[in-house]
């Protein structure tokens, strides 16, 4: 079974405020255009939070001829803490900036952790569900403003967020040894053993 399409998502947002569905993304129907705008806004907002499905670790970026590190247009967040140089790099727009030297000229390749915006079709279904439910709630709050509908859509949004977090945790393949607190408990007696119990 195929995942939820963008058209289906827009129709679900419209249904949350009692509007009729549309047959095409280019319907020109004002409420459908608003629903699509909310969907795009929330899609970017949710993906900016950095989930396992849209985060890439230790990705190398090559400097340009002019010595700059230029990022792709689908980059939402960058963490340069893995960069082995002593440079203090931060993202500014779609370029990396060296705060210590006050320049965009980095003059070396860098390794970055990045969060990218994935196309709608490539998102996992739990992420789509949460984005739709959140967009439906925001659309309802701004367009209709019904307290009762807000409560219903908020319940849906919270349930889908729980499901998305569960999905994300499972896909990370974490175990108890990935947690520093657990490691401290396991390792607390190291060096104390004196040969007797």
pLDDT tens for 91-100 read 999 999 999 8
- Asked if 164 and 125 sit in the same domain, the reply is yes
Residue 62 pLDDT > 50: yes
More confident residue, 98 or 180: 98
Whether 100 is in a domain gets the answer yes
- Asked if 105 and 149 sit in the same domain, the reply is no
Determine contact, residues 50/77, Cβ cutoff 8 Å.
yes
Output the pLDDT for position 38: 94
- Asked if 41 and 138 sit in the same domain, the reply is yes
- Asked if 145 and 108 sit in the same domain, the reply is no
Whether 38 is in a domain gets the answer yes
- Asked if 37 and 63 sit in the same domain, the reply is no
Determine contact, residues 146/41, Cβ cutoff 8 Å.
no
What is the spatial distance between Cα 26 and Cα 123, in angstroms, rounded to a whole number?
A: 22
- Asked if 44 and 62 sit in the same domain, the reply is no
Average pLDDT, rounded, for the chain:
86
3-state class (DSSP) for residue 184: helix
What would the two tokens of residue 108 be?
């070396």
Beta strands in the chain (DSSP E): 55-61, 75-79, 89-92, 95-98, 110-116
Q: How confident is the model at residue 180 (pLDDT cuts 50, 70, 90)?
A: low
- The parent domain of residue 166 ranges over 6-48+119-178
- Asked if 81 and 131 sit in the same domain, the reply is no
Whether 85 is in a domain gets the answer yes
Output the pLDDT for position 48: 96
Whether 193 is in a domain gets the answer no
Whether 33 is in a domain gets the answer yes
* 29: CB partners within 8 A, 6+ apart: 22
Q: Which of 116, 139, 154 is the last residue in one of the domains?
A: 116
Output the pLDDT for position 197: 45
What is the spatial distance between Cα 109 and Cα 107, in angstroms, rounded to a whole number?
A: 7
- Report the number of distinct structural domains present in the chain: 2
What is the spatial distance between Cα 17 and Cα 30, in angstroms, rounded to a whole number?
A: 13
- DSSP class of residue 48 equals T
Residue 172 pLDDT > 90: no
Note if the pTM is more than 0.85: no
């Amino acid at each position: 079974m195929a995942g939820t399409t963008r058209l289906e998502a827009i129709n679900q947002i419209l249904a949350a405020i009692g509007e009729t569905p549309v047959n095409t993304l280019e319907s020109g129907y004002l409420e459908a255009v608003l629903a699509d705008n909310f969907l795009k806004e929330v899609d970017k907002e949710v993906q900016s939070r950095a989930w396992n499905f849209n985060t890439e670790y230790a990705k190398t970026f090559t400097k340009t001829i002019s010595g700059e590190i230029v990022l792709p247009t689908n980059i939402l967040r960058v963490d340069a803490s893995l960069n082995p140089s002593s440079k203090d790099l931060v993202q500014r727009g779609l370029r990396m900036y060296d705060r210590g030297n006050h320049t965009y000229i980095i003059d070396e390749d860098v390794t970055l952790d990045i969060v990218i915006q994935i196309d709608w079709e490539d998102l996992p279904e739990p992420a789509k569900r949460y984005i739709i439910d959140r967009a439906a709630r925001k659309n309802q709050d701004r367009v209709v403003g019904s307290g009762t509908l807000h409560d219903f859509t908020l319940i849906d949004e919270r349930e889908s967020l729980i499901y998305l977090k569960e999905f994300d945790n499972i896909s990370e393949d974490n175990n108890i040894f990935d947690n520093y607190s657990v490691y401290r408990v396991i390792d607390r007696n190291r060096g104390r053993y004196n040969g007797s119990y």
